[in-house]
Amino acid sequence: MALTRFPREQYASLELNQVAFPQNTLVVSQTPLGNEYTAAAPCENGMWVLADKSRGYIGSIAAVTDKPLGIVYTAEKEYDYDHYGLKTFGRKIKGDYPRVGILSVGDTVTTNCLQYDDTEFATVDALYAALAAWETKAVYVVPVAGSSVPKLTWTKPNSGAYAKVTKFYTVPNGEKGVKYQIINL
């Protein structure tokens, strides 16, 4: 089993379709990133993170039942004329302060911040075919212990956090993406 990142040009991007955290003020914004985020493995928009302020840092999920589960939705920045657009924003490393929204059941987002198991989806084309048929065979998004990038799977979890794909779509910068809705936390 090897986990492979969903195809994207550089960094993942995110569109908040319908989320509760801006209205119910469940936003974490004054807590720094932990040690696991580096220049080689930055924190990207759309990542699922453990947003427990009592730990003193934002980090990856240690166990799939960790709570409070949040999604990174930091406002993208244009650094210069050579680095612009949603796909070039992901330069968040230890000590930086991301904006994280605590997920709620019913939240819907579109992102390409995903990964998949190559034993379940052998190729990118097989993954795309499965996502295109989401209405006839459900595809789920689940947290991965030790990673901030959620995984696409056909297997519905018996417990814990998961989302269900509601559309194979594009993210705001035009790259392929997935719209999903949080079903259980």
Per domain, the residue ranges of the chain are 3-184
| 67-76, 105-114, 169-178, range with greatest mean pLDDT | 105-114
pLDDT above 90 for 182: yes
CA dist list (Å): 169 to 96, 112, 172, 185:
30, 10, 10, 24
Rounded distance, CA 95 to CA 57, Å?
8
Structure tokens at 156: 């519905």
pLDDT above 80 for 66: no
Please state the rounded mean pLDDT for residues 98-124. 94
pLDDT digits (tens, 9 = 90+) for 72-93: 998 766 655 665 555 555 556 6
pLDDT digits (tens, 9 = 90+) for 131-148: 999 999 999 999 998 899
Query: What does pLDDT average to over the chain?
Result: 87
Please state the rounded mean pLDDT for residues 1-17. 89
Phi, psi of 43 (to 5 degrees): -80, 125
Rounded distance, CA 181 to CA 164, Å?
5
